[in-house]
Amino acid sequence: MKTDSKGTAVITGASAGIGVIYADRLARRGCDLVLVARDKERLKSVAARLTQETGRSIRVVAADLTNQTDLTGVEDLLRSDETVHVLVNNAGVGAPAQLLDSSVERLTGMIELNVSALVRLTHAVLPALLERGGAIINIASVVGIVPELLNGVYGGTKAFVLAFSRSLQKEFANRKTRVQVVLPGATATDFWQIAGTPLEEVPNGMVMKAEEMVDAALAGFDRGEFVTIPSLPDIADWEAYEAAREKLIPNLSLSSPARRYRAA
Protein backbone atom coordinates (compact mmCIF):
# COMPACT_ATOMS: atom_id res chain seq x y z
CA MET A 1 0.00 0.00 0.00
CA LYS A 2 1.29 3.45 -0.88
CA THR A 3 2.29 5.61 2.09
CA ASP A 4 2.89 9.35 2.19
CA SER A 5 5.78 10.37 -0.02
CA LYS A 6 9.13 11.28 1.48
CA GLY A 7 9.67 13.62 -1.46
CA THR A 8 11.05 13.01 -4.91
CA ALA A 9 14.44 11.55 -5.77
CA VAL A 10 15.87 12.38 -9.19
CA ILE A 11 18.24 9.67 -10.41
CA THR A 12 20.38 10.01 -13.52
CA GLY A 13 21.59 7.00 -15.43
CA ALA A 14 18.47 5.27 -14.16
CA SER A 15 17.75 2.81 -16.98
CA ALA A 16 20.26 0.14 -15.95
CA GLY A 17 22.82 -0.99 -13.38
CA ILE A 18 23.45 1.10 -10.31
CA GLY A 19 20.78 3.66 -11.23
CA VAL A 20 18.02 1.05 -11.38
CA ILE A 21 18.99 -0.32 -7.98
CA TYR A 22 19.01 3.15 -6.45
CA ALA A 23 15.55 3.63 -7.94
CA ASP A 24 14.34 0.38 -6.38
CA ARG A 25 15.79 1.10 -2.96
CA LEU A 26 14.65 4.72 -2.75
CA ALA A 27 11.15 3.86 -3.94
CA ARG A 28 10.93 1.21 -1.22
CA ARG A 29 12.04 3.85 1.28
CA GLY A 30 9.00 5.92 0.31
CA CYS A 31 10.40 8.27 -2.32
CA ASP A 32 8.64 9.21 -5.50
CA LEU A 33 11.05 9.15 -8.43
CA VAL A 34 12.12 10.96 -11.55
CA LEU A 35 14.21 8.59 -13.65
CA VAL A 36 16.58 10.16 -16.17
CA ALA A 37 18.45 8.34 -18.94
CA ARG A 38 18.68 8.19 -22.74
CA ASP A 39 16.70 4.98 -23.31
CA LYS A 40 13.03 5.88 -22.88
CA GLU A 41 11.73 2.34 -23.33
CA ARG A 42 14.03 0.93 -20.65
CA LEU A 43 13.05 3.78 -18.33
CA LYS A 44 9.35 3.06 -18.89
CA SER A 45 9.93 -0.62 -18.12
CA VAL A 46 11.72 0.22 -14.85
CA ALA A 47 9.02 2.72 -13.92
CA ALA A 48 6.19 0.30 -14.62
CA ARG A 49 7.75 -2.43 -12.50
CA LEU A 50 8.52 -0.17 -9.56
CA THR A 51 5.12 1.52 -9.66
CA GLN A 52 3.45 -1.88 -9.48
CA GLU A 53 5.74 -3.12 -6.70
CA THR A 54 5.89 0.02 -4.55
CA GLY A 55 2.94 2.21 -5.51
CA ARG A 56 5.20 5.24 -5.78
CA SER A 57 4.71 8.02 -8.34
CA ILE A 58 7.44 7.55 -10.96
CA ARG A 59 8.11 9.82 -13.91
CA VAL A 60 10.57 9.20 -16.71
CA VAL A 61 12.64 11.78 -18.55
CA ALA A 62 14.43 10.58 -21.66
CA ALA A 63 17.50 12.80 -21.88
CA ASP A 64 21.03 12.67 -23.20
CA LEU A 65 22.93 14.73 -20.64
CA THR A 66 25.65 15.53 -23.18
CA ASN A 67 22.99 17.24 -25.33
CA GLN A 68 22.55 20.85 -24.24
CA THR A 69 18.81 20.95 -24.91
CA ASP A 70 18.17 17.75 -22.96
CA LEU A 71 20.44 18.85 -20.11
CA THR A 72 18.69 22.21 -19.85
CA GLY A 73 15.35 20.42 -19.60
CA VAL A 74 16.52 18.38 -16.61
CA GLU A 75 17.99 21.50 -15.00
CA ASP A 76 14.64 23.25 -15.38
CA LEU A 77 12.88 20.31 -13.74
CA LEU A 78 15.27 20.42 -10.78
CA ARG A 79 14.68 24.13 -10.32
CA SER A 80 10.89 24.01 -10.64
CA ASP A 81 9.78 20.78 -8.94
CA GLU A 82 9.23 21.67 -5.30
CA THR A 83 9.01 18.02 -4.27
CA VAL A 84 12.62 17.15 -5.20
CA HIS A 85 14.69 16.44 -2.11
CA VAL A 86 17.34 14.01 -3.42
CA LEU A 87 19.56 14.14 -6.49
CA VAL A 88 21.56 11.02 -7.31
CA ASN A 89 24.23 11.97 -9.84
CA ASN A 90 24.84 8.48 -11.16
CA ALA A 91 25.07 8.95 -14.94
CA GLY A 92 28.57 8.34 -16.20
CA VAL A 93 30.64 6.51 -18.75
CA GLY A 94 34.13 5.05 -18.86
CA ALA A 95 36.82 4.50 -21.48
CA PRO A 96 39.22 1.70 -22.40
CA ALA A 97 42.22 1.15 -20.14
CA GLN A 98 44.71 2.74 -22.52
CA LEU A 99 44.48 6.45 -23.27
CA LEU A 100 45.16 6.14 -26.99
CA ASP A 101 42.53 3.43 -27.43
CA SER A 102 39.91 6.20 -27.31
CA SER A 103 39.31 9.05 -29.69
CA VAL A 104 39.62 12.50 -28.18
CA GLU A 105 35.96 13.06 -29.08
CA ARG A 106 34.96 10.10 -26.93
CA LEU A 107 37.11 11.36 -24.07
CA THR A 108 35.59 14.82 -24.38
CA GLY A 109 32.11 13.32 -24.27
CA MET A 110 33.06 11.44 -21.12
CA ILE A 111 34.17 14.67 -19.46
CA GLU A 112 30.93 16.37 -20.50
CA LEU A 113 28.84 13.62 -18.89
CA ASN A 114 30.95 12.72 -15.85
CA VAL A 115 31.89 16.29 -14.93
CA SER A 116 30.00 19.07 -16.71
CA ALA A 117 26.52 17.55 -16.48
CA LEU A 118 27.03 16.63 -12.83
CA VAL A 119 28.07 20.19 -11.98
CA ARG A 120 25.18 21.76 -13.89
CA LEU A 121 22.55 19.51 -12.31
CA THR A 122 23.98 20.11 -8.84
CA HIS A 123 24.05 23.85 -9.45
CA ALA A 124 20.42 23.73 -10.59
CA VAL A 125 19.03 21.87 -7.59
CA LEU A 126 21.22 23.19 -4.79
CA PRO A 127 19.51 26.53 -4.04
CA ALA A 128 16.17 24.83 -3.42
CA LEU A 129 17.69 22.02 -1.36
CA LEU A 130 19.45 24.54 0.84
CA GLU A 131 16.06 26.07 1.60
CA ARG A 132 13.92 22.98 2.13
CA GLY A 133 16.52 20.35 2.96
CA GLY A 134 17.63 17.30 1.04
CA ALA A 135 20.62 15.39 -0.20
CA ILE A 136 23.00 15.13 -3.12
CA ILE A 137 24.57 11.74 -3.73
CA ASN A 138 27.45 11.74 -6.20
CA ILE A 139 28.68 8.44 -7.61
CA ALA A 140 32.44 8.66 -8.10
CA SER A 141 34.86 5.71 -8.13
CA VAL A 142 37.91 4.41 -6.32
CA VAL A 143 39.90 5.39 -9.42
CA GLY A 144 39.34 8.95 -8.25
CA ILE A 145 42.09 8.26 -5.70
CA VAL A 146 44.01 5.66 -7.75
CA PRO A 147 43.70 6.94 -11.36
CA GLU A 148 46.54 4.71 -12.53
CA LEU A 149 44.24 1.68 -12.35
CA LEU A 150 42.25 2.57 -15.48
CA ASN A 151 42.09 5.20 -18.19
CA GLY A 152 43.54 8.36 -16.67
CA VAL A 153 40.91 10.68 -18.11
CA TYR A 154 38.18 8.57 -16.54
CA GLY A 155 40.10 8.59 -13.25
CA GLY A 156 40.46 12.34 -13.57
CA THR A 157 36.72 12.82 -13.95
CA LYS A 158 36.09 10.77 -10.82
CA ALA A 159 38.80 12.66 -8.92
CA PHE A 160 36.88 15.79 -9.88
CA VAL A 161 33.65 14.33 -8.48
CA LEU A 162 35.39 13.64 -5.18
CA ALA A 163 36.98 17.12 -5.06
CA PHE A 164 33.72 18.83 -6.04
CA SER A 165 31.79 16.88 -3.42
CA ARG A 166 34.38 17.79 -0.80
CA SER A 167 34.00 21.49 -1.63
CA LEU A 168 30.21 21.22 -1.40
CA GLN A 169 30.50 19.52 1.96
CA LYS A 170 32.75 22.28 3.31
CA GLU A 171 30.83 25.20 1.83
CA PHE A 172 27.40 24.03 2.96
CA ALA A 173 28.25 22.04 6.08
CA ASN A 174 25.98 24.14 8.29
CA ARG A 175 23.02 24.15 5.92
CA LYS A 176 20.13 21.72 5.45
CA THR A 177 21.63 19.72 2.57
CA ARG A 178 23.54 16.47 2.96
CA VAL A 179 26.33 15.55 0.54
CA GLN A 180 27.59 12.01 0.07
CA VAL A 181 30.16 10.83 -2.43
CA VAL A 182 30.33 7.09 -3.15
CA LEU A 183 33.55 5.48 -4.36
CA PRO A 184 32.73 2.01 -5.69
CA GLY A 185 35.35 -0.38 -6.90
CA ALA A 186 34.66 -2.69 -9.84
CA THR A 187 30.92 -3.31 -9.90
CA ALA A 188 29.03 -5.90 -11.95
CA THR A 189 27.12 -3.74 -14.45
CA ASP A 190 27.18 -3.20 -18.21
CA PHE A 191 29.58 -0.29 -17.61
CA TRP A 192 32.54 -2.50 -18.48
CA GLN A 193 31.22 -3.66 -21.83
CA ILE A 194 30.31 -0.12 -22.83
CA ALA A 195 33.74 1.12 -21.73
CA GLY A 196 35.48 -1.50 -23.87
CA THR A 197 36.85 -3.70 -21.09
CA PRO A 198 34.78 -6.90 -20.69
CA LEU A 199 33.94 -7.65 -17.07
CA GLU A 200 35.32 -11.17 -17.59
CA GLU A 201 38.80 -9.63 -17.78
CA VAL A 202 38.50 -8.22 -14.25
CA PRO A 203 39.55 -10.63 -11.45
CA ASN A 204 36.42 -12.02 -9.85
CA GLY A 205 37.62 -11.17 -6.35
CA MET A 206 37.58 -7.47 -7.25
CA VAL A 207 34.00 -7.33 -8.55
CA MET A 208 31.07 -6.49 -6.26
CA LYS A 209 27.44 -7.17 -7.12
CA ALA A 210 25.66 -3.94 -7.93
CA GLU A 211 22.89 -4.63 -5.40
CA GLU A 212 25.41 -5.05 -2.60
CA MET A 213 27.26 -1.91 -3.65
CA VAL A 214 24.13 0.25 -3.55
CA ASP A 215 22.95 -1.25 -0.26
CA ALA A 216 26.36 -0.51 1.27
CA ALA A 217 26.28 3.04 -0.10
CA LEU A 218 22.85 3.64 1.42
CA ALA A 219 24.02 2.15 4.72
CA GLY A 220 26.87 4.67 4.62
CA PHE A 221 24.36 7.43 3.92
CA ASP A 222 22.27 6.33 6.91
CA ARG A 223 25.42 6.44 9.06
CA GLY A 224 25.97 10.05 8.05
CA GLU A 225 29.11 9.37 6.03
CA PHE A 226 30.41 11.97 3.61
CA VAL A 227 32.68 9.49 1.79
CA THR A 228 31.52 5.89 1.41
CA ILE A 229 33.88 3.25 -0.02
CA PRO A 230 31.73 0.11 -0.04
CA SER A 231 34.52 -2.47 -0.12
CA LEU A 232 37.01 -0.84 2.28
CA PRO A 233 37.22 -3.21 5.30
CA ASP A 234 38.64 -0.74 7.83
CA ILE A 235 37.44 2.87 7.83
CA ALA A 236 40.57 3.74 9.82
CA ASP A 237 42.57 3.35 6.60
CA TRP A 238 40.54 6.11 4.94
CA GLU A 239 40.80 8.26 8.06
CA ALA A 240 44.59 7.87 8.00
CA TYR A 241 44.62 8.84 4.31
CA GLU A 242 42.56 11.93 5.10
CA ALA A 243 44.72 12.82 8.08
CA ALA A 244 47.85 12.65 5.92
CA ARG A 245 46.21 14.87 3.28
CA GLU A 246 45.08 17.39 5.86
CA LYS A 247 48.57 17.50 7.40
CA LEU A 248 49.87 18.86 4.09
CA ILE A 249 47.42 21.76 3.94
CA PRO A 250 49.22 24.34 6.14
CA ASN A 251 52.39 24.03 4.04
CA LEU A 252 50.96 23.89 0.53
CA SER A 253 51.07 27.65 0.01
CA LEU A 254 53.91 29.55 1.69
CA SER A 255 55.83 32.71 0.85
CA SER A 256 59.14 30.90 0.30
CA PRO A 257 60.19 27.74 -1.58
CA ALA A 258 61.01 24.68 0.47
CA ARG A 259 64.65 24.45 1.52
CA ARG A 260 65.37 21.59 -0.88
CA TYR A 261 64.59 23.87 -3.85
CA ARG A 262 66.82 26.74 -2.82
CA ALA A 263 70.09 27.34 -4.64
CA ALA A 264 73.17 26.10 -2.83
What pLDDT shows up at residue 19? 96
Which mean pLDDT values do the consecutive 10-residue runs of the chain (264 residues) have?
Answer: 79 95 98 97 97 97 98 98 97 82 89 98 97 96 90 94 97 92 85 61 75 96 96 96 97 94 82
CA neighbours closer than 13 Å in the CB half-sphere of residue 32:
15
DSSP strand pairing (32-37 vs 84-89):
unpaired
Q: Is domain 8-261 in CATH 3.40.50.720, yes or no?
A: yes
The values of phi and psi at residue 210, to 5°, are -60, -40
pLDDT of residue 1: 46
Backbone angles phi, psi at 33, to 5 degrees: -135, 150
3-state secondary structure at position 56? coil
Q: For residue 38, what pLDDT is reported?
A: 96
Give the residue numbers marked as catalytic: 154
